[in-house]
A and B are shown apart, each in its own frame.
Chain A
Amino acid sequence: MADEAFDAVIIGSGAGGAPVAHALVRAGKRVLVLEKGPLFHAQHTSADGLSDFKRDEEFATGAEKVLRVQGVANTGVSFYSSHVEPDLNDEPHVYRDSDGRDKATIEGYTAQVVGGGTQLYGGVSLRFAPDDFRLRTVNRDRDDLRADPNGDVAREARDWPFGYDDLEPWYCRAEELIGINGTRDGQLKPASVDNYQQPLAPNSISAHVAAGMDALGYRRYRTPLAVITEDHAPSGRTVPADRESIKTAFVNRYGDPLGWKSNTWVSLLHPVSAEPGFSLRANCSVTHLSATGPRVTAVHYRDPLGRERTVSGTVVVVACSAIESVRLLQLSAERDAAFADRINGNDLLGRYFLTHCFGGASARVPGRHDKSRTLDSDWATDACAAPEFVRANNLWAGGAIYNNTSDSALPISMARTWAANDMDTMWKGYLYDLDMRGDGFDGYLTENFGRQLSVAFMANQVPLPTNRITLHPAVRDKWNRPVANIDKGWHGHDRAVMDVLAEQCRRILAAGGDGVQVIGHGHVGNDVRRIANHVLGGARFGTDPDDSVLDPDCRAWRFDNLYVTDGSFMPTSGGANPTLTIQANAFRVGDLLTTRV
């Protein structure tokens, strides 16, 4: 028997967990949210008027730490995590590198804090395109796809159990409750209601991107961003008189001390926190679930000091972000053969792990711009998500393209991401560029500070059963439990998708006006480790119990009361950043659950 009982126990308070909690609390249910990370406040939600997030470059990527995990090939390397990422020595994720050796990585983490990844995210809140929901159907009879000699794409592509139109009302709900600014006109994604707030003026450097998109005939729109620019009634948040001061460049990888970024704590959980049905326990890690037949009967967690406790819920919702959710279910299965049979009888749990095909191009612009006055992105285009574009380029799916404005905006971040674009190679470019000193350093600043501009794409990755999360046979976390093991590679067609889209990004910059000098373009197709903070799949939903882990309601097929609502439900990763879709789906499931508890 569990210590306490609730209508719903929700594990994880990020994009997939918070909307479910919000919907159930609003419907009068008794909800407990268990969150592994701390409850870091925005100023307006905190008792003492101070935020736990700071405008401080040392918070995004802090002091050096040294990997001491035994049994991996990169023991001894330096790593630099944010203040809301775990110490890798306590909880590594291990991946198999292309050289066949196991290494620990920080790439697969979002953030461990109330709000999850939405505390650190750039807030780019695009919808998926209509065809992203039916990639099996649209690719069924194709034999023209690049780099797919064995027809893997047609075999592995899956439709979602529902189409764009079914999710559309939930996109509207998410956009309304979360608080997003942007523009609709020019999008390929029809909306029945326009809930966007007015965007702020773009950073002047983005004019080059606007010019480039126009020159190519790509319709553009202001990138929808989860940052409020007007008072937001649903969450009770207000904006300052000087709205321009909302733009600070402390966006991507920074929690927002003023709560204007619409993370799920300020937008969804704090607004219901005074309701009698709402409980939140931060600093509590769920270790496993136990079940009696088809019912999960206990959620086992460690309280803030590590003591074991249990709770039960009429329903239990797992939303730990894809890698950790899969791991939690696998750890539960490891302890109980009957649980294992129910959750993984078809051997699909952990398979079809997905991230995104991503990459882009970067340029140096002739003038100088104050990039410290910006949010994460100004312009986006769906031109390369259009079915005509996809077909004409012999691709299975398209993707979104948008410019980044906050990258290299601040002086330390410009240095530590110099020739290093991911968390594991942080600092490596700048530090070993030993000629960059004295005049050389000055030249580097003169040439680059306020002059760097990049354009990125985000596209579907081909689902493969071999891309998979399992429990690592040897490496353990600080609770002495096996850590997640990531096997991930790219399909040849993924590289084709990335080649085509990186080239479009390059063309946009090349057409961006006189003096714009493209300095590079490329993608992650040669790097198995890169995840882009987008962890998806591994517990995909579908209509066939033999082909999916979850049913169309995101309930585990052979359980009565076990749901999974973070990014792991996705059977395909979509041609855009995933979070808005995770949230929309979680609102859909939350609404469903109001009738089940």
Chain B
Amino acid sequence: MPVVQVARDDQYVLNHTTRFLARDTGEVSEPFHLPVVDTHWDGTSAETSYRFNDVTFVHRDDQAGEVGVVGTFGDLHTPVPLRRVRFLDEPTGLWALTVRVGKGQVHRYRFTVDGRSVLDPVNPQRLRSDNGQEWSRFFTHGCAVPISFDRWELRLLERLVTQVLPFQLAENRRFLADFYHGLSRAERDRRFPLAFLMDESVGVVNFIDKLVAREERHNLDDYKTCLLLIDGVLRARFPGREPAELGRQAFMDLYDELAANNVPGWDTGRYGEPRHFLVLLRRHAMTGAFAHPKHGGNQGAAAWAYLAERFAFDWRAAIEAPLGRNTDYRG
């Protein structure tokens, strides 16, 4: 796959990295910003630009003579060289490269420093390939490939999320049925270029899957632990049944118990405050439903369309085409 490089200047690289890196004490802050995943603009058309992101790799090494990157976004065996980033015409010790990558993708990569292969020391996202080698990882906007959760976790999460969101109401289900599912495939693609799979929770679970992989990694353990506990609680209550396939009432009861911070059968030794998990889930559900679809939820802007249908909310006026109809703003 040929790598398409994009010209982003040194100022851009400094703007998006040094605040997190430069310091005398403490660790790199907000390491989730790296590599930088940003909008792509091909200089002419919103439609053709929209399928891509610009991904900027940055590596700091004062001593290196050559830095490159290999990864699944390009040819795995041929490093693409990073350039030296300069400030006041002097080398900064930073190296950078911007490439064009399709939206909705997950990739692994490693840096090569003077021929040595190294992980990205800043980016905490890691991935083990089939042969056991460790790689750094990134994903682009609107990514729907599961990263943080297994299939059973995703299904259970789906059921939990529909307890805190409006989309499971009969009236709203009707909206999805009448509005989105009623569109022809071509029309769906035209109006919702990022939509791929519409579900009751408008992609919130996918949003959470991405959020705890990157910005809120610190909350991943909460999910892992609580999903396991919930699975156990429901299996004990409904022997022989798959938790994710239980009826609605089972989840409504569970919600009430989480809210009361008292879930019979819950191992508080493993997770002290079940309510804490519910609060976390509530924030993520609300954000995932209504945030820009590039974050992985609000698929095809379905939640905004829902607000527009039911209330008054002309979201398309402000949002970039082709998702919205604004052609001045490029996203």
Interface residues of A (CB under 8 A from B): 37-40, 43, 47-52, 54-58, 62-66, 86-87, 89-90, 112, 240, 245, 248-250, 257-258, 281-283, 302-306, 368-370, 372-373, 410-412, 415, 427, 430-432, 434, 437-439, 441-442, 445-446, 449-450, 476, 478-480
Please, how many angstroms separate the alpha-carbon atoms of A373 and B316 in the complex? 11
Please, how many angstroms separate the alpha-carbon atoms of A248 and B6 in the complex? 30
Q: Can you list 25 A-B contacts with CB-CB less than 8 angstroms, sorted by A residue number? A: A38-B16, A52-B15, A55-B292, A55-B320, A55-B329, A63-B32, A63-B216, A87-B20, A89-B29, A112-B19, A248-B318, A282-B11, A283-B18, A305-B87, A306-B21, A370-B314, A372-B317, A410-B290, A412-B290, A415-B290, A432-B279, A441-B164, A442-B171, A442-B172, A445-B310
Quick check: B92 and A449 within 8 Å, CB to CB? Answer: no
Please, how many angstroms separate the alpha-carbon atoms of A432 and B281 in the complex? 11
Quick check: A480 and B24 within 8 Å, CB to CB? Answer: yes
Within 8 Å of chain A (Cβ to Cβ): is B315? Answer: yes
- Least Cβ distance of B206 to chain A in Å? 15
Quick check: B326 and A245 within 8 Å, CB to CB? Answer: yes
Quick check: A90 and B23 within 8 Å, CB to CB? Answer: yes
Quick check: A87 and B30 within 8 Å, CB to CB? Answer: yes
Quick check: A50 and B168 within 8 Å, CB to CB? Answer: no
- Least Cβ distance of B36 to chain A in Å? 10
Query: Contact flags (1/0) for B192-216 with A, using CB distance below 8 Å?
Result: 0000000000000000000100011
Please, how many angstroms separate the alpha-carbon atoms of A14 and B94 in the complex? 28
Please, how many angstroms separate the alpha-carbon atoms of A432 and B14 in the complex? 39
Which among A434, A439, A476 is the interface contact of B278 at CB below 8 angstroms?
A: A434
Quick check: B312 and A368 within 8 Å, CB to CB? Answer: yes
Interface residues of B (CB under 8 A from A): 6-9, 11-12, 14-16, 18-26, 29-30, 32, 38-39, 41, 43, 60, 87-88, 92-94, 163-166, 168-169, 171-172, 211, 215-216, 218-219, 252, 255, 259, 275, 278-279, 282-283, 286-287, 290-292, 294-295, 303-304, 307, 310-315, 317-320, 326, 328-331
Instruction: Knowing A38-B15, A49-B330 are in contact, say whether A411-B41 is a contact too (CB < 8 A).
Output: no
Quick check: B215 and A283 within 8 Å, CB to CB? Answer: no
Quick check: B15 and A478 within 8 Å, CB to CB? Answer: no
Quick check: B166 and A438 within 8 Å, CB to CB? Answer: yes
Tally A-B pairs: CB < 8 A: 194
Instruction: Knowing A55-B318, A437-B164, A445-B311 are in contact, say whether A478-B26 is a contact too (CB < 8 A).
Output: yes
Quick check: B39 and A372 within 8 Å, CB to CB? Answer: no
Chain A residue numbers with a CB within 8 Å of B218 are 64, 66
Chain B residue numbers with a CB within 8 Å of A48 are 6-9, 12, 41
Quick check: A57 and B163 within 8 Å, CB to CB? Answer: no
Quick check: B286 and A368 within 8 Å, CB to CB? Answer: no
Please, how many angstroms separate the alpha-carbon atoms of A43 and B328 in the complex? 9
Chain B residue numbers with a CB within 8 Å of A438 are 163-164, 166, 168-169, 252
Chain A residue numbers with a CB within 8 Å of B304 are 411
Quick check: B165 and A49 within 8 Å, CB to CB? Answer: no
Q: Find the A residue at minimum CB distance from B21.
A: A305
Instruction: Knowing A245-B317, A257-B329 are in contact, say whether A415-B312 is a contact too (CB < 8 A).
Output: no
Q: Find the A residue at minimum CB distance from B303.
A: A411
Please, how many angstroms separate the alpha-carbon atoms of A43 and B60 in the complex? 28
Which among A37, A47, A411, A442 is the interface contact of B9 at CB below 8 angstroms?
A: A47
Chain A residue numbers with a CB within 8 Å of B7 are 47-48
- Least Cβ distance of B10 to chain A in Å? 9
Quick check: B169 and A442 within 8 Å, CB to CB? Answer: yes
Q: Find the A residue at minimum CB distance from B169.
A: A442
Most chain-A CB neighbours within 10 Å: which of B19, B25, B314, B319?
Answer: B19
Quick check: B286 and A430 within 8 Å, CB to CB? Answer: yes
Which among A248, A257, A441, A480 is the interface contact of B25 at CB below 8 angstroms?
A: A480
Quick check: B278 and A50 within 8 Å, CB to CB? Answer: no
Instruction: Knowing A50-B38, A257-B329, A370-B312 are in contact, say whether A57-B292 is a contact too (CB < 8 A).
Output: yes
Please, how many angstroms separate the alpha-carbon atoms of A282 and B9 in the complex? 14
Which among B60, B87, B311, B318 is the interface contact of A303 at CB below 8 angstroms?
A: B87
Q: Find the A residue at minimum CB distance from B15.
A: A38
Quick check: B166 and A445 within 8 Å, CB to CB? Answer: yes
Main DSSP-derived SS at the A contact region: loop
- Least Cβ distance of B166 to chain A in Å? 5
- Least Cβ distance of A553 to chain B in Å? 32
Q: Find the B residue at minimum CB distance from A47.
A: B9
Chain B residue numbers with a CB within 8 Å of A283 are 14-15, 18-19, 22
Instruction: Knowing A63-B215, A304-B22, A372-B314 are in contact, say whether A411-B307 is a contact too (CB < 8 A).
Output: yes
Chain B residue numbers with a CB within 8 Å of A63 are 32, 211, 215-216
- Least Cβ distance of B303 to chain A in Å? 8
Chain B residue numbers with a CB within 8 Å of A112 are 19
Quick check: B329 and A478 within 8 Å, CB to CB? Answer: no
Chain A residue numbers with a CB within 8 Å of B311 are 368, 445-446, 449-450
- Least Cβ distance of B257 to chain A in Å? 11
Chain B residue numbers with a CB within 8 Å of A54 are 39, 292, 331
Chain B residue numbers with a CB within 8 Å of A57 are 287, 290-292
- Least Cβ distance of B143 to chain A in Å? 15
Please, how many angstroms separate the alpha-carbon atoms of A112 and B19 in the complex? 10
Q: Find the A residue at minimum CB distance from B286.
A: A415
A-B pairs, top 9 by smallest CB distance, nearest first, are A38-B15, A63-B215, A306-B22, A370-B312, A248-B318, A304-B18, A87-B29, A411-B290, A478-B23
Chain A residue numbers with a CB within 8 Å of B163 are 437-438
Chain A residue numbers with a CB within 8 Å of B87 are 303-305
Chain B residue numbers with a CB within 8 Å of A249 are 318
Please, how many angstroms separate the alpha-carbon atoms of A321 and B304 in the complex? 37
Extra pairs beyond A411-B307, A431-B279, A434-B278 (5, CB < 8 Å): A248-B317, A248-B318, A412-B291, A415-B286, A438-B168
Please, how many angstroms separate the alpha-carbon atoms of A513 and B24 in the complex? 59
Most chain-B CB neighbours within 10 Å: which of A57, A66, A411?
Answer: A411
- Least Cβ distance of B31 to chain A in Å? 11
- Least Cβ distance of B158 to chain A in Å? 15
Chain B residue numbers with a CB within 8 Å of A65 are 30
Quick check: B39 and A50 within 8 Å, CB to CB? Answer: yes
Quick check: A49 and B29 within 8 Å, CB to CB? Answer: no
Quick check: A305 and B22 within 8 Å, CB to CB? Answer: yes
Quick check: A369 and B312 within 8 Å, CB to CB? Answer: yes
Q: Find the A residue at minimum CB distance from B331.
A: A54
- Least Cβ distance of B42 to chain A in Å? 9
Chain A residue numbers with a CB within 8 Å of B30 are 65, 87
Quick check: A56 and B291 within 8 Å, CB to CB? Answer: yes
Which among A89, A370, A450 is the interface contact of B26 at CB below 8 angstroms?
A: A89
Chain B residue numbers with a CB within 8 Å of A372 are 313-315, 317-318
Chain B residue numbers with a CB within 8 Å of A250 are 318
Chain A residue numbers with a CB within 8 Å of B331 are 54-55
Which among B8, B93, B317 is the interface contact of A373 at CB below 8 angstroms?
A: B317
- Least Cβ distance of B293 to chain A in Å? 10
- Least Cβ distance of A181 to chain B in Å? 18
Please, how many angstroms separate the alpha-carbon atoms of A141 and B21 in the complex? 57
Q: Find the A residue at minimum CB distance from B260.
A: A434
Chain A residue numbers with a CB within 8 Å of B286 are 412, 415, 430
Please, how many angstroms separate the alpha-carbon atoms of A304 and B20 in the complex? 10
Quick check: B29 and A90 within 8 Å, CB to CB? Answer: yes
Quick check: B283 and A64 within 8 Å, CB to CB? Answer: yes
Chain B residue numbers with a CB within 8 Å of A480 are 24-25
Q: Find the A residue at minimum CB distance from B98.
A: A48
Chain A residue numbers with a CB within 8 Å of B278 are 434
Chain A residue numbers with a CB within 8 Å of B328 are 43, 240, 245, 258
Chain B residue numbers with a CB within 8 Å of A370 are 312-314
Most chain-A CB neighbours within 10 Å: which of B16, B21, B22, B252?
Answer: B22
Please, how many angstroms separate the alpha-carbon atoms of A460 and B291 in the complex? 37
Instruction: Knowing A240-B328, A449-B313 are in contact, say whether A304-B14 is a contact too (CB < 8 A).
Output: yes
Chain B residue numbers with a CB within 8 Å of A442 are 166, 169, 171-172
Chain A residue numbers with a CB within 8 Å of B39 are 50, 54
